[in-house]
Homo-oligomer: A and B are copies of this chain.
Amino acid sequence: MTTQQAMQAVENIMIEVTKSDVKTLQDASRHILSAGGKRVRPRLVMLAYSALGGTDYIYAAPPAAAIELVHTASVVHDDINDHGVVRRGRPSVNAIWGRTFALLTGDFLFTKVYELMAPYKDLNIDLAEATVALVEGETLQAAAVKENNFTREIYHQIIERKTAALFKAAACIGAKLAHADQTIVEALGQYGYSIGLAFQIVDDILDLTADSAQLGKTSGIDLAQGRGYVAAYSHNGHQAAGVAEVVVEEADPMMSIKQRLLQGDAISEARMQARGLAQAAIAYLDVLPESQAKHELIELANMVVDRDH
C-alpha cells in the first residue's frame, strides 16, 4: 500500500458516501470536499495503520474518511458562526448556498460519519468521544469570545478539545485497525494528540501572519471576533483584556492588534511551543519499527509546524 493509494481510497469513499438525490446536499458536500484541504487526519489514520503492519486499505479507509468528514462538517458549521466566506481557496458553503443549506450540509456530513462507522463497533466509541470533544471545544471557544475571557489555560483547553482530540482519535483508530497492543495504541494516541496541539497553534499563528490568498480561507476571522488565541501568549496567562481596548480605540482594529502581536514575542513563543510539541510527538514514535510509514509520520509532524498555509 502506498500512502497515495490509501489517500485516494479515502477520497473515493468521501465522494461515494456524499452521493444524494438531494442535489444541494451532494453539490455543497462535494464542493467543500473537492476543494482539497490538507487531509492530515485521514493521513494520520492510514500512516498509523500502515506503520503497524496494516496493508488492507479498503478496510482502513472508511474510518479515515469518517474522521475527515467530522472535521469537514465542523468547518462548514464554523463558517456559519464566523461568517467565513472563503474556505480552502473557494467560496465557503455558507457564502454560496446560504446559512440554511450550510447548516444542513454540515448535518448531512455528520450523519455520513455514522454511516461509515456503523460496521466498526469497537472504534466508533473513540470517534464519538473525539467528536463530542470537538463540539465542546468549539463551544468553549465561543463562550471565551463572548465573555472576552482568553487565558493561556482556557486557550489550551479549547485547542485540546477542538483539535487535539480528533488527531489523537485518528492515530488511535489507525493503530487499532492494525490490531496493535494497547501500549502502542497509547503511544500513537500521544503522538496524534501532540501534533494536534501543534497544528492548532500554528493555524492560529498563520491566521495572524498570513493573508487570505495564502491561507485559502478568510484570515483574521478568529481575531476579528475577539478570539486573540495567540494573544494569550502575550499576557502571561492573564485575561487578554487589552485586545478589546484596542478594538475600540483604533480605526482599523484588526491591523492594530496584529501589529501589537507581531511586534511582541507572542508569535515566536507560540511557534517555539509548537516545535516542542512536534519533537515530543516524534519521540512517541520510538515504539514503531522502521518503515516508510514511520518516516512519513515523522515528516508529518515536521510539516505541521513548518507549513506556511
Contact = CB atoms under 8 A, between A and B. Distances in A.
Interface of A: 20-22, 24-25, 73-74, 77, 80-81, 99-101, 103-104, 106-108, 110-115, 117-119, 121, 124-125, 127-129, 131-132, 134-136, 138-140, 142-143
Given A22-B140, A100-B81, A114 B111 contact: no
B115 A132 contact: yes
A21 to B, nearest CB: 8
A115 B114 CA distance: 10
Given A113-B114, A114-B124, A114-B131, A139 B25 contact: yes
CB-based closest 7 A-B pairs: A114-B128, A121-B121, A115-B128, A118-B125, A111-B131, A22-B136, A81-B100
B143 A24 contact: yes
Report which residue of A73, A74, A117 has the largest number of chain B beta carbons within 10 angstroms of its beta carbon: A117
B114 A127 contact: yes
Identical subunits present: 2
Given A22-B136, A22-B140, A77-B103, 10 more contacts: A20-B132, A25-B136, A80-B103, A104-B135, A104-B142, A108-B132, A110-B111, A114-B117, A115-B125, A118-B128
A44 to B, nearest CB: 20
A235 B100 CA distance: 27
Nearest to A123: B118
A123 to B, nearest CB: 9
B25 A104 contact: no
A258 to B, nearest CB: 24
5 contacts: A81-B99, A81-B100, A108-B132, A111-B131, A113-B114
Contact of A108 (B81, B115, B136, B140): B136
Report which residue of A100, A128, A131 has the largest number of chain B beta carbons within 10 angstroms of its beta carbon: A100
Nearest to A74: B107
Contact of A104 (B73, B114, B138): B138
